[in-house]
Amino acid sequence: NTKITQSPRYLILGRANKSLECEQHLGHNAMYWYKQSAEKPPELMFLYNLKQLIRNETVPSRFIPECPDSSKLLLHISAVDPEDSAVYFCASSLRTNSDYTFGSGTRLLVI
Amino acid sequence: GDSVTQKQGQVTLSEDDFLFINCTYSTTTYPTLLWYVQYLGQGPQLLLKVTTANNKGISRGFEATYDKGTTSFHLQKASVQESDSAVYFCALVDAGYQNFYFGKGTSLTVIP
């Protein structure tokens, strides 16, 4: 899926700090971070609309999102925990009431 | 609150078999009901969408229908192929797209 690019694709960390990046080339106004743990559906973490954070689900404070412009989304993670091992998907939609497009995800493994 | 239930965790079929995956939902609004497909190593992709205005959707040989009376919606395909092996999620979005609920997913394996 080249419409939404996420980097890195794979990440193996100890208790370190790292940032996940997402960029969408769709001209969408809303961007999302989802977490998908093994054999579970995606769960919403954060929602930005027009660069403003409008949804912040119950997420550990070590996860800090950032939206530097309307096409980019970052997820800063500090001192990762083994329970953070999952695939993190970025998604976007034209408006908050439009269909989503998901990226291919960043697979995070915490060792 | 709104919810969606997808009970079939794993389904194994042979090529050309008929596929049927069912979801039930609970809502007090006029929802949009969706089916997503997630291939290995990829993000979920929207496969089909049905609303209260159109109770049936068709895409790529898949058909989704919803029954307001039984508050269920299902995904079916007449003849599956090995390339259909993936995880299929049903989802419900409330009327204002404010809340998005995924089912637990059905992992489909099609044996050639």
* Tens-place pLDDT, residues A12-66: 888 788 999 999 999 999 999 999 999 899 999 999 999 999 888 889 999 999 9
Of B45, B49, B89, nearest to A41 by CB-CB distance is B89
Write the secondary structure of A37-65 as one string of H (helix), E (strand) and C (coil): CCCCCCEEEEEEECCEEEEECCCCCCEEE
Tens digit of each residue's pLDDT (9 = 90 or more) over B61-79: 999 988 888 888 999 999 9
- Cβ of B102 under 8 Å from any chain A Cβ? yes
Tens digit of each residue's pLDDT (9 = 90 or more) over B3-62: 899 998 999 999 999 999 999 988 877 788 899 999 999 999 999 988 877 778 889 999
Strands A106-110 and A10-13: parallel
Q: Which of B30, B97, B107 best probes binding to A when mutated, by most A CB atoms within 10 angstroms?
A: B97
- How confident is the prediction for chain A on average, in pLDDT? 91
pLDDT-derived band at B80, boundaries 50, 70, 90: very high
Within 8 A of B37 by CB-CB distance, chain A residues are none
Within 8 A of A103 by CB-CB distance, chain B residues are 43
Task: Find how far residue A29's CA is from the centre of its chain.
Answer: 15
What pLDDT does A1 receive? Answer: 53
Compute CA distances A42 → A37, B20, B57, B90, B105, whole Å: 7, 22, 23, 12, 10
- Cβ of A104 under 8 Å from any chain B Cβ? yes
Of B41, B43, B97, nearest to A102 by CB-CB distance is B43
A to B CB pairs, distance under 8 Å: 40
CB atoms within 10 A of CB A23: 18
Of B43, B96, B98, nearest to A105 by CB-CB distance is B43
Cβ within 8 Å, pair B43-A104: yes
- Cβ of B89 under 8 Å from any chain A Cβ? yes
Tens digit of each residue's pLDDT (9 = 90 or more) over A60-87: 999 999 999 999 999 999 888 889 999 9
Within 8 A of B43 by CB-CB distance, chain A residues are 1, 4, 89, 91, 102-105
Q: Does residue B98 have a pLDDT over 80?
A: no
Give φ, ψ of B92 to 5 degrees: -125, 135
- Cβ of A13 under 8 Å from any chain B Cβ? no
List, in sequence order, every residue forming a beta bridge with B11; answer none if it has no partner: B108
The answer to whether residues B87 and B38 touch, using CB atoms and an 8 Å cutoff, is: yes
Write out the two tokens for A82: 């083994």
